[in-house]
Amino acid sequence: MKKTTLLLTCALLAAPTLSFADDRDDRRGIDYNGPVEITPVKALLDDDSFFSDRDVVVEGHLVKRLREDLFLFSDGKHEIRVELDDDMHLPGPIDAKTKVRLFGEYENHRQPEIEVDYLQVM
């Protein structure tokens, strides 16, 4: 009887935890398709203040892979390095012709770069 009670108690305590376990990494939350303020890459590159960090949204193409998680991004006029978050999962393969919208943080340290938190295929 004690073993049955103990097993039942453990199962009841573990049930809420297991219900939240999910293999999917769905970070989108709200699927909003309305207007978003896009920052031109030139505006970021013209910012000459050192250690200037801010949240940005840019649109364009990943034109070249520099390292495993580091890419060269172009908005069609200017280029900047972008680092994709290592736990980011893309919906499928992309190439230099795939238009993307990147949400991340612009960092103006040794070399201007955007640390991308979320990538949206357009």
The per-residue pLDDT for range 79-120, each reduced to its tens digit, is 999 998 778 777 788 888 989 999 999 888 778 898 998 888
Q: DSSP E strands: which ranges in 5-98? A: 52-65, 70-74, 79-84
Alpha-carbon gap, residue 25 to 120, rounded angstroms: 14
Per domain, the residue ranges of the chain are: 41-121
Alpha-carbon gap, residue 20 to 104, rounded angstroms: 27
Domain topology for 41-121: OB fold (Dihydrolipoamide Acetyltransferase, E2P) (2.40.50)
What's the DSSP call for residue 47?
Answer: -
Per-residue pLDDT tens digits for 28-86: 456 666 678 888 888 888 877 766 778 889 999 999 999 888 999 999 999 999 998 77
- Entry pTM: 0.67
CA Rg value for the chain: 21
* Token pair for 66: 């520099």
| Predicted local distance difference test score (pLDDT) of residue 33 | 67
Token pair 């612009």 is found at 106
